[in-house]
Amino acid sequence: MSLVLAADRRTIRRLDIAWIALPAQCSSGLPYASSTRFGGGLTKAVALSSAKRFRHTFVDAVTLPEIVTLGEHPVVRGTVGRSRAYGTFRAIAIVKDAAGVEVNRCDTGTISWSTVQ
């Protein structure tokens, strides 16, 4: 995980999280690995509240025509302190075949995270 604050410490310029849903967390029994980026030009910067807390979610979808559709729904929450940040992350991934039939649904469950400066 990587978290980059803006110089004024009022927004998160970029937050990168690599994650995996284990076989037991997926309907097909196969693992699912991905990474999620908030900010960094893909989404807008994440604003911090006056209490230095944040919550951000979005849908990341990719369609390969006549093959598969992938939809990822990540949610990250946290608090930024003077020397560390901490919070939770959860992602749900849905894989559909070319006919639109769901072939795999994965849920990471809630994962605690922390970073230090």
The pLDDT value recorded for residue 95 is 94
What are the structure tokens assigned to 101, written together?
A: 């039939």
The pLDDT value recorded for residue 46 is 87
How many other CB atoms are found less than 10 A from the CB of residue 73? 16
Can you point out the beta strands (E) in the chain? 2-5, 11-21, 32-39, 46-47, 53-57, 60-64, 68-80, 84-97, 102-107, 111-116
Enter the pTM of the model: 0.86
The pLDDT value recorded for residue 94 is 96
Q: Three-state DSSP class for 41?
A: coil
Phi, psi of 44 (to 5 degrees): -70, 160
The pLDDT value recorded for residue 44 is 77
Distance between alpha carbon 95 and the CA centroid of its chain, in Å? 16
The pLDDT value recorded for residue 81 is 93
Q: What does the pLDDT profile of the chain (117 residues) look like in tens digits?
A: 899 999 999 999 999 999 999 999 999 999 999 998 888 776 778 899 999 999 998 888 888 888 899 999 999 999 999 999 999 999 999 999 989 999 999 999 999 999 987
